[in-house]
């Protein structure tokens, strides 16, 4: 039953990604995206996000949790821990999972070629295209993968749920910060969340199968 529910969730997220991508490509999301972005900006000064300066600074800190450098540091750090814990194949699988996800995100950005939001100033130049949001996708993929890794070594349902809940919260905060700062259209973030979650689910399933066949360590030892 749990496997079926997981597969249905992955299918639903894939469908949502496809629908959003189709509507975005046709230009039908422009009005929605613009309305959401402008709702988070001062009507007198679109350059200024709503809220006090400290809140905007906090949003910048949160958005960095989905940056390539931060996610790389976290991934390498956890992989190193796994390797030192006599789980080198699990470490390698983690690195491959995140790296492959990053490659797919970049390929999709190049494929869709959507420009960054032009209705509000977002302060910083961006080097990549807008759809899907790399921050949202890779934050979802990385944090959900790590959350599942932590959950597997816990013995109680409460701790397992807590680990996954924190992973979800981090992914949501990163994505929302991208829209608040004007660096992504809302549909970029929605698509990024869907893509990251689907990739994480696929990685979970592959890892579970490899663990059953003994190709990846089942337990972390120190």
- Model pLDDT for residues 119-150, shown as the tens digit of each residue: 877 555 567 888 999 999 999 999 999 988 88
User: Cα–chain-centroid distance for residue 23?
Assistant: 21
Q: What is the pLDDT of residue 28?
A: 93
More confident of the two residues 217 and 90: 90
Q: What is the pLDDT of residue 222?
A: 55
Domain 2-23+52-212 has CATH 1.10.150: no
Q: What is the pLDDT of residue 215?
A: 78
Q: What is the pLDDT of residue 185?
A: 94
Q: What is the pLDDT of residue 166?
A: 94
Q: What is the pLDDT of residue 219?
A: 65
Percentage of the chain lying above the pLDDT 90 cut: 62
- Tens of pLDDT, residues 174-209: 999 999 999 999 999 999 999 999 999 999 888 888
Q: What is the pLDDT of residue 221?
A: 61
Residue 60 has pLDDT above 80, yes or no: yes
Predicted model pTM: 0.90
Q: What is the pLDDT of residue 73?
A: 96
User: pLDDT confidence of 95, banded at 50, 70, 90?
Assistant: very high
More confident of the two residues 136 and 5: 136
More confident of the two residues 48 and 165: 165
Domain ranges in the chain are 2-23+52-212
């Amino acid at each position: 039953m749990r496997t079926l529910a997981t597969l249905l969730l992955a299918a639903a997220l894939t469908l949502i990604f496809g629908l959003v991508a189709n509507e975005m490509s046709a230009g039908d999301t422009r009005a929605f995206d613009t309305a959401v972005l402008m709702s988070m900006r001062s009507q007198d000064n679109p350059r200024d996000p709503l809220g006090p300066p400290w809140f905007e600074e906090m949003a910048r800190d949160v958005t960095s949790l989905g940056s390539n450098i931060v996610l790389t540091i976290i991934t390498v750090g956890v992989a190193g821990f796994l390797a030192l814990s006599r789980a080198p194949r699990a470490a390698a699988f983690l690195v491959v999972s995140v790296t492959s996800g990053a490659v797919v995100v970049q390929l999709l950005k190049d494929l869709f070629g959507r420009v960054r939001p032009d209705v509000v100033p977002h302060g910083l130049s961006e080097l990549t295209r807008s759809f899907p949001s790399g921050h949202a996708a890779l934050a979802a993929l990385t944090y959900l993968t790590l959350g599942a890794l932590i959950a597997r070594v816990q013995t109680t349902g409460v701790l397992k749920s807590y680990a996954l809940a924190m992973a979800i919260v981090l992914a949501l905060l990163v994505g929302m910060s991208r829209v608040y700062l004007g660096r992504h259209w809302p549909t970029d973030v929605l698509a990024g969340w869907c893509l990251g979650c689907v990739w994480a689910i696929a990685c979970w399933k592959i890892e579970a199968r490899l663990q059953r066949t003994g190709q990846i360590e089942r337990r972390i030892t120190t």
